[in-house]
């Protein structure tokens, strides 16, 4: 099944723009520069080729409101959605494609799962690394990455862009193999 909607997770506003938690927004912004605010979707929308793009204008922990509005309006199935997000459990520079699963403590994913009533959507997990201790996580994700980390994150995004058309076409096994092995 082809991907009809790519959602980039992040927090709205200039204060959060370059934070680790906004990697999903950064990814989406590289696909299109022509976003339109659509209040009925609680987000900014655009297209990459024929695929809808969404940047929720809600805060991260309310991302489900925006995704649910798109799902309901366009009658999308969870399998037609790709959510791009930051991943603490992967080092910066590592990117993984995954279908389904839990939220892994990510509040944006948690809210999307709750809002659409399913965890069966695809995730493009872009590694941002972990600060080492759980009590440091909130502060860590809400700060800018180092220059080296940012370069690694951008390298991970470039790897993703190389297989994005395969992901959109529903060629997930090929995309995963290429993405995860670097071939």
CB burial of residue 35 (10 Å; 0-12, 13-18, 19+): middle
* Per-residue confidence band for 181, with pLDDT thresholds at 50, 70 and 90: confident
- Tens-digit pLDDT profile for residues 112-133: 999 999 999 999 999 999 999 9
Q: Residue 99: give the domain boundaries.
A: 5-181
Residue 21 annotated in active site: yes
**Whole-angstrom Cα Rg for the chain:** 15
- Tens-digit pLDDT profile for residues 117-173: 999 999 999 999 999 999 999 999 999 999 999 999 999 999 999 999 999 999 999
CATH number for position 123: 3.40.50.1470
Q: Count the domains in the chain.
A: 1
Catalytic pick among 21, 130, 143, 180: 21
Cβ(84)–Cβ(24) below 8 Å: yes
Is the pLDDT at 67 greater than 90? The verdict is yes
* Per-residue confidence band for 12, with pLDDT thresholds at 50, 70 and 90: very high
Is the pLDDT at 7 greater than 80? The verdict is yes
Q: CA 179, CA 177: separation in Å to the nearest integer?
A: 6
* Interhelix angle 147-168/23-31, nearest 10 degrees: 60
């Amino acid at each position: 099944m082809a991907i009809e909607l790519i959602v980039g997770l992040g927090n709205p506003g200039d204060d959060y723009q370059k934070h680790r938690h906004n990697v999903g927004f950064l990814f989406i912004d590289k696909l299109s520069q022509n976003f339109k605010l659509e209040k009925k979707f609680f987000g900014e929308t655009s297209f990459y080729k024929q695929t809808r793009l969404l940047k929720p204008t809600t805060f991260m922990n309310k991302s489900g409101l925006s995704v649910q509005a798109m799902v309901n309006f366009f009658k999308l199935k969870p399998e037609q959605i790709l959510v791009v997000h930051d991943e603490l459990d992967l080092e910066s520079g590592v990117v993984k494609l995954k279908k389904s699963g839990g939220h892994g403590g990510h509040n944006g994913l948690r809210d999307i799962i709750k809002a659409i009533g399913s965890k069966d959507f695809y995730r493009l997990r872009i590694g941002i690394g972990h600060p080492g201790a759980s009590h440091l996580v909130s502060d860590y994700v809400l700060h800018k990455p180092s220059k080296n980390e940012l370069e690694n994150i951008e390298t991970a995004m470039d790897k993703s862009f190389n297989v994005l058309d395969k992901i959109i076409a529903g060629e997930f096994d090929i995309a995963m193999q290429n993405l995860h092995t670097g071939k």
